[in-house]
Amino acid sequence: MPWFVLYIKSRNEKLVAEKLRQLDIEVYCPVIKTQRKWSDRIKVVEEPQFRSYCFVKLPEPERNRVFAVPGIVRYLYWLNKPAIVRDVEIEAIQLMLNEVDNNQLKLTRLETGSRAKICSGTFAQREGIVMRQEGKITVIMLEILDIMISVDYSKTIIRS
């Protein structure tokens, strides 16, 4: 069965996903945890990774079942056909979102000129030399690729 992309009314993604689950429709609404600051507190909230979109996995003949749920606008189309997302792409999104728990990351100071290994993300398992570090951003020279990259500590794990 293919994954189809649903266009959802704004700020209804999580609610629509829950209603679809109640109809026994396989749905994936990727969320990320972000900190929101109010005048009196800071709170961690879950927000949709892709605003106004959810993915549903169901057979082609049953595609119209989703319209029983309020908040769904339409299917996303590509070249006059319903857009289909492959399983491998959904798995890549899940891996990217689940790989790093941002709350567990700790910022440590890396010495300029020291060796560091990137343990997650696109350049996982690559080693390089720390060129500089500014807050959460570390610039690493990857000798094997002959490039310098900026790595964000809030999204990537680095070990010295």
Convert the pLDDT of each residue in 93-103 to its tens digit.
887 776 555 45
10-residue stretch averages of pLDDT, the chain, 160 residues long = 93 95 94 84 87 94 94 94 91 72 54 82 80 82 79 69
Please give the pLDDT value at position 105: 43
Please give the pLDDT value at position 69: 95
pTM of the model: 0.61
Convert the pLDDT of each residue in 29-59 to its tens digit.
988 887 888 888 888 888 888 899 999 999 9
Q: Confirm or reject CATH 2.30.30.30 for domain 104-159, answering yes or no.
A: yes
Q: Are 132 and 141 in contact, with CB atoms under 8 Å apart?
A: no
Please state the φ and ψ torsions of residue 72, each to the nearest 5 degrees: -90, 130
DSSP β-bridge partners for residue 116: 128
Q: Are 100 and 120 in contact, with CB atoms under 8 Å apart?
A: yes
CA dihedral 135, 141, 145, 149 (to 10 degrees): 20
| CATH class of residue range 3-99 | alpha beta
Kindly report, as residue ranges, where domains of CATH 2.30.30.30 are found in the chain. 104-159
Nearest to 124 by CA among 146, 96, 104, 103: 96
The two tokens of residue 93 are: 């999104």
Q: What is d(CA 109, CA 103) in angstroms, rounded to the nearest whole number?
A: 18
Q: What is the DSSP letter of 109?
A: P
Kindly report, as residue ranges, where domains of CATH 3.30.70.940 are found in the chain. 3-99
